[in-house]
Every structure is written in C-alpha cells, then in structure tokens.
Amino acid sequence: TRSIACFTLATAVVALTAPLSAQTPAPQPQPQMQSAAPGFNPGVYSGRLPPAYPTPYEPATVESIQEVLQRVHGYLEFASPIKVINRETREPVTDLTKLPPQIAIERTDLLIVSYEWGVTYSGMLLAAEATGDTRYRDYTHARLDAIARLAAHVKKNPPPAPPEGQQGQGPMRAFAMRSVISPQSLDDSGAMCAAMIKAHQQGLGGDLRPWIDNYLGYISTGQMRLADGTLARNRPLPNSLWLDDLYMSVPALAQAGKLTGERRYFDDAAKQILQFAQRMFVKERDLFMHGWIESMDPHPVFHWGRANGWAILAMTELLSVMPEDHPDRAKVLELYRAHARGLAAVQGHAGLWHQLLDRTESYEETSATAMFTYCLARGINRGWLDSLAYGPAASLGWNAVVTKVNATGQVEGTCVGTGMGWDPMFYMYRPTHVLAAHGYGPVLLAGAEMITLRRGKGADATMNGGLQFGKATSLH
C-alpha cells in the first residue's frame, strides 16, 4: 500500500511539472476575415474583379485610333519616298515635270508600286475620309501622280536592257514602272488599279485614266482563266486558283463598274467570288482554303489567315459599291456573312487571328487581323452585320492590332509574302518582318473604319458584364 501511494504522489508531481503543451493542444490561428484583409476588393461578390486581359479590353477612343494612324503615316512618309535619279549622272531628280531622258527609281524600304501599296493608297484615302486629315490624301496623291508621270516618261524613253545576268540587281531598279506599263499578273494590276480609280474619282493622282484602262484591260482579257471564266494561274501547277487573286481582281472590277457604269464589271466581279467559293469555301468551317489545284483529289486544305483576309476584303469592296438590284448581290452578301461568322468563331484569345486560322499553335498574325477588323467594322457600319454579334470582335481586333504598331509606326508581326503550300509547317514558320508591306494598308483601313464605328453604332458601347455595342447585358 505504501508503494502504491508513493507512485501516485510521484505521478502527480510529474503531471504538475510537465510543460503545458504536453497537456493540451496549442490554440490554432484562426483565418482572418477577407473583408478585413489589406487590399480586399468587394467586387469579388459581384464578379467585378478586374481581369488580367492580355490586350486592352475597353473600346478604343477615336482620339487613340487617330494617334495610331498618324504614327503609321509618319513612318510611311519616311520609308516610302519618291526617289528618282538621273540614270546617267546618278543625281537626284526633284522636279518631275523636268525629267531627263533616262531615269531610274532608287530602292527604298517600301516600294511605291506594288499590290501591297495599292492597299496602302486605298487605306490612306479612307483614313482621310474618316479623320478629315488631308495628309493622308496628300500621301496618295503625291505618289500616284509621280507613278503616272514616271510611267508615261519611261514608256516614251525605255531604259537600256541591263547586262546579261544583272537584271534586277544593284541599287537602281532598271524598269520600276514595268508593272504599270506592261502588267503581267493580277498582282501587278488589281490592287493598284482599284486605288487609282478611287483617287481618280476624288480628283487626285494626276493623269491616271490611261493606266486605269491599261490595268483593266489586263484583268479582263490578259489573265488566264479556266473554261468557266474563273481567273487562274499556271503555277505552282496548271490550272491553279489562289484565294489571294480575289483581291487582286475583284476590287478593281468593282471600282470599274462604279467608274464607268458598265454592269459587266460587276458581273465579272461577282462571278469570281462565287466561282472561287464553289471550289474553295469550306462550309463546315465557314472558311476558305488558300489554294486549289484542278488535278488534286483529295485536296489539302489550309486556312491561311491572310488569304482569308484577301477574300473577305474583296467581298467587302464589292458590296460597298455593287448596285442593290444586281442579281448576284444577295448571294455575295450571304457568302460574306457566312465567312464573317466563321472568322469570328476562330478569333484568338487576345484579339488576334492566327496564321493558320484553325490552328492555335500557329503564331498570331497582324495583317490578317487588320483585314478582318476592317471588314467586320464596315459590315456593321453598312448594316450587313449585327453590331451586337460582331462589334466586340472588331473592337478587340483593333485593340490587338494596336499592340503590333511600334513607337516608330512600324507594323510588327506581319507574315512575309507566301506561296501555296501542302503542309502545315510551310505556313506556320513563314517569317514576319516590319518590312513585310502587307500590314500597312490593312491597318490604315481598319483604323479608319473603326473611327466610323465608334462615332456611330459603336459610340454607346458598354462594359456591363461583357463588351457590347448598343445594348447592356446583365451578369450571370
């Protein structure tokens, strides 16, 4: 009994002297109420926490769009000057009314005669219309007037042939006006012709009519066609259709119809769009394939971004001037709307469209994005598209394009000139460069049309839960 009592007493002593933590768990820290935490935002309850958008989300203001266009214009004034020299003395020629017999055009960063620059001239004219800034018109007038003068002079005083093996080499372009005087492809003709007609109708560009008629003659009778009249090429294989050729022909034909009043030009323009679409529009995706070769079956299908841009740009240009009572107008408009639907469905997460439209692993490309932005915005402005359905796509497209215009006004992320390919790698790894001239005209067109949109149906865009044009929506 005595031993038991001693054990009990010892146990009690140990218990009294043991650390408190060994007897009861330490109190655990309680979570702090988030409403009392530093930086707490009550917007979490309403879904109004600011998202981390990769591209600015709110619609651009008219003033911000104008600033971008001015920056691009400033760069192009610098990068695409008119540089004429005396071929014999190599001295600059500054007075184009007093040209020496033999002249040459010095190479500059961006050329003033090319299909890309036809788009740029059209973009400058639209920018002048949208902003009221005459500098854009002056840019187009000065260069088209120079082209008209130089082409007429070179036609009368052809340059001597370059030595064997040196064609196209050296700092002087031996025959820079060849594509104006003697067009040999739709690339030579269509975009420049459309721009010249637009300028001519505004009293700009000097004596353009001879060159307009020259271009139209080539498009109508000089370019090869399939048996049904579809404009085609014999490269890379016989009887090839390039989707690009819709822009290299249709806008010129459409403008010719407006200029002359002859319906045959509208007929041919509509025929090209509808017959290209029969072969190349993939209805399951509402997108065009880039190329079509008559002898291929099955045919590889690649939805190259800029080619789809050329296609919807051609439809947009035609619908802008096509008579309302033309028998093919409804068909062209239906195709335009289907294509717009397909394009909106594949817009990338940051507002840009991809090099291969249906392959998000391909890079985001600027020229196609600018083309789509212009065409969607014009569709809204002209009443062809619903502003609620397509206004956000156009707005985000423009905001994304802006991120690709650098501080000097250069357009980044534009794919260089591209042929027709039969595998995805061909398209996915085409280089991009600020001197890829395809980006500048579309950016001018897109910005100009977005100004019109923001002043019209896009003026009351709201941000209530999601970008809307003309109508607010509630959160869910």
pTM summary value = 0.89
Which residues of the chain fall short of a pLDDT of 70? Answer: 1-26, 31-37, 162-175, 464-465, 470-476
- According to the model, what pLDDT value does residue 469 have? 84
User: pLDDT of 55-84, one tens digit each?
Assistant: 999 999 999 999 999 999 999 999 999 999
**260: closest CA among 227, 303, 212?**
212
How many whole angstroms separate alpha carbon 428 and alpha carbon 355?
7
Q: Please say whether the beta carbons of 439 and 405 come within 8 A.
A: no
CA-only gyration radius of the chain, Å: 31
Q: What is the pLDDT of residues 170-179, one digit of tens each?
A: 444 546 799 9
Q: What is the pLDDT of residue 37?
A: 66
First-to-last C-alpha distance (Å) of the chain:
78
Which amino acid, residue 97? Answer: T
